[in-house]
Amino acid sequence: MQKKLDENQQQMLQLQEQGLERLAIIQNRIQAVIAQTYELHEYPIPRLFIVLPKHTGFPNMLKNSLTKTQFRLFFLCECGDHTKVPGSNTPHHIHLAKHEGYDIERPNEFFENYGSYILIVLQLVKYGTLGTSIALPLLATDTIFQSLGRKINKLSEKKDFIGVTGASIESLINESISYIQNKQNTGGAIGDIEGQTVLEKVEALEGADLRRLQSFLRVQDQSRTLGDLYRIVTLEGHVKWVCFDHYRENYKESAVQRLKEVVAANEGDYDEKHGSIKVCLKSRFQAKQFYDAMVQARGIHELSIQFGWRATEGDVADFATATTESNLVGVSLKDKPISQRESRISFWLDSGSRYNPLAWLMSNKRVRSMKIEAIEDFFLMSDFVFKEAPELRSLDIVKINISPCYYRRTLRQLLIHCPNLVKLTLGTIDNILTLNNLLYDTLPLLQTLKSLELQYESGVLRNKYLRGTTLESSMEFYHPMRICEDDVVILSEKRKGLHSYLLNIMSNDPKLTTMLLTNVYDYHKVIERVITARKKMISLKGSCALETLMIKHRGESSEFTIAVVRCLDAFDSESLKIDMNLTGWTKLSTEPIHHMLKCQGSLIKKLNIGSEFDDSMAVALDKSTRTNGSKLSTLDINCGSLTPVGRAGLACIIQRSPSIVELKLYTGPSKDTIEQGELSCGGSVKQLMQIVKWVQERQDLPNLQKLWVDNYGESISSFLQWTVKMVAAPAASEHRVKPLRRFIWTLGIFSLKNG
C-alpha cells in the first residue's frame, strides 16, 4: 500500500514539474511575442488580437465542422508604461479594445495562417504576464475587462459586449485554445509534448501578415481603424495601438483641435487615429502656423508635406527643426516643381546647400522613414559631411533623376551612413542603368536590407535581400510601347535601348525570377528573345533563375493576361511551357499571334483564341507541332472562320495532342459556307466533323476530362454517333483512359451536360 502511495506521489510530482516547464515555455513565448517591436512602415494595423466563440449555436463546437460564423476576433489595447501619465488612476494593462469584434471570413484558412500566433496571445490573456513595459495579471482577476467600465455599462452586461457573461470568459478562452490545439494535432492537453513543440516554433507576425489579416475580417465600417484603436509611437520609436482613453491621456484636446483647424485651412488631411498628416503649405507664414500647431499637439507620427513656394535652406531647416521637436518618425517632403534651369539657378543661389538640413534630419536618431520626392537638386549638397543614421529603416528617393555620375556618388555616400536600412526605393533611373551600375559595391554593406525597388521611366525592378545577398528579383515594365524595335516611337515615347536592357539585366541579375510586361505590342519578339537569352545564360553559366515571363494588357477598366511563359527547370533550356489567352484582344495586329503559333507553337500548353483564329494560324500551329510535337492540354478554339484547309490543320493538331485535358470547339459562320449560301447564321456541324474525324474514340484523347462543343447548325447522325463514343465509357484499351468528367454540347438553345 505504501509503495502504491509513493508511486502516486512521484507521478504527481512529475506532472507538477511538467506543468511548471510548460508554463515557463508559455511565458517565454509570450515575452518573445510581446517584445517584438515594429517600425511605422511595417505595422499597418493592430497586432494583438484573440478569437472567441460566438455566443449562439455552438454547444458542440469542437465536434462540428467550422463555419465562418462560429468565431469572432477581438483586438487588444497595447497600453503599458508608455501610456502612463503621472497622477492618473487609469489602469495601464492590456485589455480588450472598445469594439464589438469582427466575424471571420474563410475561417479554415484564417486559422491555418494565424492559429499558432493566436494560441500564444490566448495564453497571454489566460496566464497573464509582467514585462518591463507591459502587464496583464491572471485572468482570474477579470482584468481583461478593466478600463472598459463605461463601455460595458452602456452595453448593460459583458454578455452584450462579447456575447458571454464575465464568469464564463475563461471557459471561452479555454475553448478557443482547445480548438486551435486540436486543429494543429497537438493533443489538446496543456502539458502535451507535441503542443510544446508547436509553441516553440511560434514567431511574431511580420508586416505582410498583418496587412493580410484584414482580408479575413468582415468589416462593416471601412472608415474606422480596426478595433477603433489609435496608433502611437513610443520614445524608442516602436509602434503601439491603444484605445481612446489611453490615447487622450497623453495629448491635449485643445491643441489637437487647433491642429485640425490649421490642417483644414490648408486643405490637408489629418488622420488622428493613425497620427498622420498630408498637407501642402503655400507660404512661409502658413508653414510657421502649421509647425507651431503640430509641436503643441503632439501625437503626430507621420507627416507628408509639399512646399508651395521656392523654399530656401532656412525654410528646409525650419521644417527639419519642427519635425524633430514633434518627434516624428515618418517624414515625406515634396518640393515645388521647377525647371532644370531654375534648379541650376537655385544651386548657385544656395551654394548647393539648400537641402543639407534633410541629410541632418535623417541622423536625428528619431526618424525611421523618409521619402524625398521631386527634389531635383537634392544630390547637389556641397561639402556636406554625412552623419550616421542608425535609426533610419525606410528611404524613398523618387521622381528624381539619379542617373548622373555625381548624383550616384552622393547616393552611395548617403547609403553607407544608413547601416540599418530595411527598405530602399530609388528613381527615376535611365533604362540603361542596372543595379550594379547604380550602387556598385554598396549593397553588401547594407546587411539589414530586405527590399530594394528601382523605378525606371517605363517600369520597376523589385529585389528581395537577406544579409546583403539577393534572394529574388522581379521586373515589371509598362506603358504602351514596343521593346524590340528601338526606331519605333509609340505615343511619343521613345524607349531606346530597352531591349538591350532586358537581356542585360537577365545576365547581371542571377536571381531574377519574374518578368511582367504590360501593354507591350511586340510581345512575340520579347518572348522569343527572352527564351534565347535564357538558353544562352544556361549554356554559359549552367542555370537561369527566371521562372515566369508574363505579358498583360491593361485598359482603362480591365486587365487580363495575354501570355505566360513558365520555365520549369532552371538547368534545362528546353523545359518551357506557354499559356496564351487571346480571346477578345483584337485591337492590335494579329501578327504577334501568328508569330507565336509559328515559332513557339510546340511549347504552348493552353491556347484560348476567338474568331481571329484563321487558316494561316491553324497551318502555322500545325507545322510547329508537326516538327516539334505538341504540349497542348487545354484547347479553346473558335473555328468559325476556318475553311477546309484550316479545319484540316486543326484536326491534325488535335490528333497529335494526346495530352489534351480540356477541349472546347465553337463554330461560327465560316467563309466558304457563307459564300455558298449554306448558312443564314451560325455554323455547321459538318465543320466539326472535319475536325473530329481523326478523333474516332476516347482512346485518341486518353487524358480528356472536359469536352465542350458549341454548334448552331443542323445535327446529323454521324456527329451524334461520335458524341456517344466520346461521352460513353471507353472500350478496353492498352492505354489508361481517364473518365470524361464533363460534356457540354450546345445546339441552338439546348445543352447537354454529363459529369
Which of 229, 248, 267 finishes a domain?
A: 248
> What's the rounded mean pLDDT across residues 641-653?
87
- Mark whether 296 and 241 lie in a shared domain: no
Report the candidate in 435, 424, 431 with the shortest Cα–Cα distance to residue 458.
431
Looking at 323-390, which runs of residues are DSSP E strands? 330-334, 369-373
Residue 233 has pLDDT above 60, yes or no: yes
Torsion of CA 727, 732, 736, 742, to 10 degrees: 10
d(CA 410, CA 422): 20
Backbone angles phi, psi at 745, to 5 degrees: -125, 110
- Mark whether 493 and 517 lie in a shared domain: yes
Helix axes 523-541, 591-600, angle to 10 degrees: 30
- Mark whether 595 and 622 lie in a shared domain: yes
Mean pLDDT of the residues in the chain: 75
Most confident of 218-232, 334-348, 410-424: 410-424
> If pLDDT is split at 50, 70 and 90, which confidence band does 57 have?
very low
Residue 522 has pLDDT above 70, yes or no: yes
- Report if residue 231 sits inside a domain: yes
Peptide bond preceding 428: is omega within 30 degrees of 0, i.e. cis?
yes
Residues pairing with 281 in the sheet: 307
> If pLDDT is split at 50, 70 and 90, which confidence band does 261 have?
very high
For the residues of 236-253, what is the DSSP string, one character each? TS-EEEE-HHHHHTTS-H
Q: Which domain holds residue 324?
A: 251-421
> If pLDDT is split at 50, 70 and 90, which confidence band does 520 have?
confident
Q: Which cell is 491 given?
A: 505615343
More confidently predicted of 463 and 673: 463
Q: What is the pLDDT of residue 350?
A: 57
- Mark whether 449 and 410 lie in a shared domain: no
- Report if residue 219 sits inside a domain: yes
- Mark whether 711 and 579 lie in a shared domain: yes
- Mark whether 240 and 151 lie in a shared domain: yes
- Mark whether 318 and 220 lie in a shared domain: no
- Report if residue 145 sits inside a domain: yes
Domain count, the chain: 4
Which of 404, 421, 438 finishes a domain?
A: 421
Quickly count: other Cβ atoms within 10 Å of residue 365's Cβ: 13
Report the candidate in 652, 723, 657 with the shortest Cα–Cα distance to residue 685.
723
Which of 516, 551, 586 finishes a domain?
A: 551
- Report if residue 579 sits inside a domain: yes
Q: What is the pLDDT of residue 751?
A: 36
Upper half-sphere CA count for residue 92 (Cβ side, 13 Å) = 19
Residue 117 parent element (H or E)? helix 107-127
- Sequence-ordered alpha helix ranges (H) in 188-312: 193-201, 207-213, 244-248, 253-265, 284-297
- Mark whether 396 and 465 lie in a shared domain: no
- Mark whether 319 and 231 lie in a shared domain: no
- Mark whether 217 and 301 lie in a shared domain: no
d(CA 462, CA 453): 5
- Mark whether 120 and 239 lie in a shared domain: yes
- Report if residue 1 sits inside a domain: no
Q: Which string of b and e fits 305-316 if b means at least 16 CB within 10 Å?
A: bbbbeebebebb
For the residues of 596-650, what is the DSSP string, one character each? HHHHHGGGEEEEEE-TT--HHHHHHHHHHHHHH----SEEEEE-TT--HHHHHHH
Of the ranges 207-211, 427-431, 530-534, 696-700, which one carries the lowest mean pLDDT score? 696-700
Question: Is there a contact between 580 and 609 (Cβ–Cβ < 8 Å)?
Answer: yes
- Report if residue 510 sits inside a domain: yes
- Report if residue 41 sits inside a domain: yes
| CATH number, domain with residue 360 | 3.80.10
Question: Is there a contact between 709 and 747 (Cβ–Cβ < 8 Å)?
Answer: no
- Report if residue 564 sits inside a domain: no
Q: What is the pLDDT of residue 440?
A: 74
> What's the rounded mean pLDDT across residues 616-629?
93
- Mark whether 322 and 441 lie in a shared domain: no
Residue 748 has pLDDT above 50, yes or no: no
